[in-house]
Amino acid sequence: MQGLLTDIRYAGNDNFLGRPVDGYQAPACLLSRDSLQALTQAQEHAQKIGLTLLVYDCYRPQRAVDDFIRWIQSDVPQTMKERYYPNVKKEDLIAQGYIASQSGHSRGSAIDLTLADARTGEPIDMGTSWDFFDPSSHTDSVAVSNDARQNRRALKGMMEAAGFRAYYAEWWHFTLIDEPNPNIYFNRVIK
């Protein structure tokens, strides 16, 4: 897709685990055909206003979700706590809605993304970073600047116009409303 940027964080170390997540052998964005068509519409809208979409995660194998759960239950050092979840205990990430035992990402119809400047590729201000597990990351949070709230509304508006639904607790997370596989959780490794 023309101009679309990707930074698939779970394929590397820049994520809340601090290591590649099980099931991510390559930094690839896989989506259902319907999700890709809808994302293309959102990207076209972003480009009309001098922006582009920057994608952090697309399809996520169920094994990756299982890896998140194992990590929560483990006693491994929390090397990324300050960057990703400074105000939440690791064991509370599920109860607070940031991690689930099943994810729409595993159906190929959910996507994590932000808006970036089309010329520089730099993300615009959203008030918090991607995967920052905190109430300030809620889509409608007033704990961020007016500019960040306006930018979140712009992202939400273009994604909703393209057929996606926003997730209240994560300004970056969107799921296709008419997803083709609403009850299937795929487990294919991303290569």
Beta bridge partners of 5: 54
Check: pTM over 0.95? Answer yes or no. Answer: yes
| Per-residue pLDDT tens digits of the chain, which is 191 residues long | 899 999 999 999 999 999 999 999 999 999 999 999 999 999 999 999 999 999 999 999 999 999 999 999 999 999 999 999 999 999 999 999 999 999 999 999 999 999 999 999 999 999 999 999 999 999 999 999 999 999 999 999 999 999 999 999 999 999 999 999 999 999 999 99
Give me the number of domains the chain comprises: 1
Task: Tell me whether residue 187 is in a domain.
Answer: no
What tens digit of pLDDT does each residue of 1-21 get?
A: 899 999 999 999 999 999 999
Long-range interactions of 134-142: CB distance < 8 A, separation 24+: 134/85, 134/86, 134/87, 134/88, 137/169, 137/170, 137/171, 137/172, 138/168, 138/169, 138/170, 138/171, 139/166, 139/167, 139/168, 139/169, 139/170, 139/171, 140/168, 141/171
Query: Taking CA 80 as the corner, what is the angle to CA 15 and CA 139, rounded to the nearest 5 degrees?
Result: 60
Structure tokens at 55: 């994608």
Task: Tell me whether residue 54 is in a domain.
Answer: yes
Q: Give dist(CA 104, CA 172) in Å, integer.
A: 14
Structure tokens at 187: 């487990």
**What is the DSSP-derived secondary structure letter of residue 24?**
B
* Residues acting as catalytic residues: 170
Task: Tell me whether residue 121 is in a domain.
Answer: yes
* CATH number for position 55: 3.30.1380.10
C-beta separation of 20 from 12 below 8 A = yes
**What is the DSSP-derived secondary structure letter of residue 171?**
E
Domain that holds residue 30: 5-176
Task: Tell me whether residue 182 is in a domain.
Answer: no
